[in-house]
Chain A
Amino acid sequence: MDTGALLLSVELATLTTLLLVGLGLPLAWWLANTRWKGRFLVEAVVALPLVLPPTVLGFYLLVGLGPRSPAGRAFEAVVGHPFPFSFAGLLLASVLYSAPFAVQPFVGALAGVDRRLLEASHALGVSRLGTFFRVALPLAWPGVLAGTVLAFAHTLGEFGVVLMVGGNIPGRTRTLSVAIFDHVEALEYAAAHRTAALLLGVSFVVLALVHALRRGSLPAWNGR
């Protein structure tokens, strides 16, 4: 069993999910509420990874954040090492590549909250931020949880972007899916089986959970 690759995959998926919740929720809240006519452009950018091959995203990230580009130098100045073939670079790529899996369910769930409830909250003197945490989030939480779980699962199984941006450095950028690829290349089918079965099992459990959430068969949030 590739313990190192498993740990790395879980670490990458966890951090990616946390970042997507932290950045995706405000973005989704904005998308769900804005009346700006250009919002479809932002939605399209968020949805791009759904249709683009991961190699395209990886390619542009490598070019855009390469050591010779200004953005790449900025990345190096902040993180302390160059973007390609690093864990931080992998994390950034994963966040971008898994964004639609988190943001789209977030937007759907938040947009589904009755606007009048938000307005009632405002009229009762509660700020926009307070209304988000006291009304919108509790009511949208099945969708928010579904998005979170999907983003985690998607990152766990990510392959193309990882290979493009991260390469295959054990302990740094060698994730589960890359390990499977290696095993198959080396004709180690038994090892490939173990890892693949693990990913298959985890993915199935996650998707079952997401669909249970969508059907509302989980208990509602009990706010005070």
Chain B
Amino acid sequence: MERTLNFDLVRRFPRGPVVSARGAWPLDGERVTVLFGPSGSGKTTVLRALAGLDRPDEGRIVFEGETWFDAGRGIHVPPQRRHVGLLFQDYALFPHLSVRANVGYGLHSVPKAERDGRIDELAGRFGIADLLGRKPGELSGGQRQRVALARAIAPGPRLLLLDEPLSALDGPTRESLRGELRELLVRTGVPAVVVTHDRLEALALGDRMAVLVGGSIRQVGPVPQVFTNPVDAEVARAVGTENVLPAKVTRSEMGLLVLEAGGAEILAVDPGSAGDEVYACIRAEDVVLESLERHGSSARNRLEGTVVSRQEEGALVRVRVACGPTLVVLVTRESADRMGLAPGLRVVAVVKAPGVRVVAR
């Protein structure tokens, strides 16, 4: 049997956007696929169509050779018969039922003794054995997530669908649960599709990443590869390559391109056949800031400029430097403090040529 998920669907919203997404990937091996995109890009629409909660206007969905949806043939398998485990953004636990009844909800056709055994087994696996008698209202965010996941796993789904699984949690809890969720997902052994707009979530949870921009899937590939090799400028912007600079190729020397962007000269590795008008994509993490005195590294791009703004982001500081183009740079707070980074300070932004991705425009 063909173990793949294959979909090609169109969903039109009245007076709204059109989501037209096509994707296909194997279900063996790398199990967790992240459906990544900015809000409004159609991620949840795709997820709901896969779950059968929403009926696309056109197209088809084939899971393991079984047609779940085919607009042309009028096929729409209802969610009850898709055997999909669904995890909602806010978990959607049944508030009137105990944790035990929530986890056992999908096991209604299983005899009681067997059902209780299965609930206890899952409760042990998900670390919620002590919570079985409680109501969802008495649980913390992290506990709710584990209960919701146990509930989704209980009937033995063939596919897990998770909608922004960490967004309902507060910052610190989210940090600590990212790794835990990945662990739980891998241990279930069920292929999963995780919708998220959070880069860190995508990196932490996914094996494979599908990037949705403007309602269509632009790129599918291993997570790190998509991050470092976005296929086009929109994907680059979506995956958070903060610096997407319009640039002109001035000349090519020894496999390197010399670009002109915002009055500055930038060296980049030639990807081949990019044309003259390009985007130079530089991730904020890949820019190093130096004070004016220091120099003498192997980096080829040294752009002198002035700090325009400084914004704290947890352990990191996001700095904007006007050096011809305005570059967004992420540095640790410690380095920022040591250098005394503040608006008005003259610095040098250093980027290695391989850190500049050239994308045709």
Binding site for B on A (CB under 8 A): 114, 116-117, 119-127, 130, 134-135, 138-139, 220-224
In the complex, A126→B154 CA distance in Å?
Answer: 13
Could you tell me if A114 and B92 are in contact, using CB atoms closer than 8 angstroms?
A: yes
Interchain CB contact under 8 A, A224 and B97: yes
Q: Are A121 and B101 in contact (CB under 8 A)?
A: no
Shortest Cβ distance from A120 into B: residue = B92
A130 — which chain B residues lie within 8 A by C-beta?
A: 108
Q: Are A123 and B105 in contact (CB under 8 A)?
A: no
Residue of A nearest to B89 (CB): A116
Q: Which residues of A contact B106 (CB under 8 A)?
A: 124-126
Tell me the nearest residue of chain B to A131, going by C-beta.
B80
Q: Is B79 a contact partner of A220 (Cβ separation < 8 A)?
A: no
Chain B residues whose C-beta falls within 8 Å of the C-beta of A138 in the assembled complex: 96
Tell me if A's interface is mostly helix, strand, loop or mixed: helix
A35: min CB distance to chain B, Å = 11
Return the CB mask of B94-126 against A: 1 if under 8 Å, else 0: 111110010001101100000000000000000
User: Is A124 within 8 A of B92, CB to CB?
Assistant: no
Residues of B at the A interface (CB closer than 8 Å) are: 51-53, 78-86, 88, 90, 92, 94-98, 101, 105-106, 108-109, 151-152, 155
Contact at A223–B92, with CB atoms within 8 Å?
Answer: no
Separation of A224 and B115 alpha carbons in the complex (Å): 14
Residues of A within 8 Å of B98, CB to CB, are 224
A123:B96 contact, CB within 8 angstroms: no
* A119 contact set on B, CB distance < 8 A: 51, 53, 79, 86, 88, 92
Residues from chain B with Cβ under 8 Å of A114 in the complex: 92
Pairwise interchain contact A123-B108, C-beta atoms closer than 8 A: no
- Say yes or no: A122 contacts B79, CB within 8 Å: yes
Contacts of A120 in B (CB 8 A): 86, 88, 92, 94
Q: How far is the CA of A222 from the CA of B98 in the complex (A)?
A: 9
A residues less than 8 Å from B52 (CB atoms): 122-123
Smallest CB separation, A11 vs chain B (Å): 34
| Interchain CB contact under 8 A, B85 and A123 | yes
Contact partner of B155 among A125, A134, A221, CB < 8 A?
A125
Find chain A residues with CB under 8 A from B155 CB: 124-125
The residue from B88, B101, B109 contacting A223, defined by CB atoms under 8 A apart = B101
- Give the one of B88, B96, B151 with max A CB within 10 A: B96
Assess whether A117 is in contact with B92, with CB atoms less than 8 Å apart: yes
Contact between B96 and A122, CB atoms less than 8 A apart: no
In the assembled complex, how far is the CB of residue A171 from the closest CB belonging to chain B, in whole angstroms?
A: 44
The distance in angstroms between the C-alpha atoms of A121 and B109, with both chains bound, is 14
Chain A residues with Cβ below 8 Å from B109 are 125
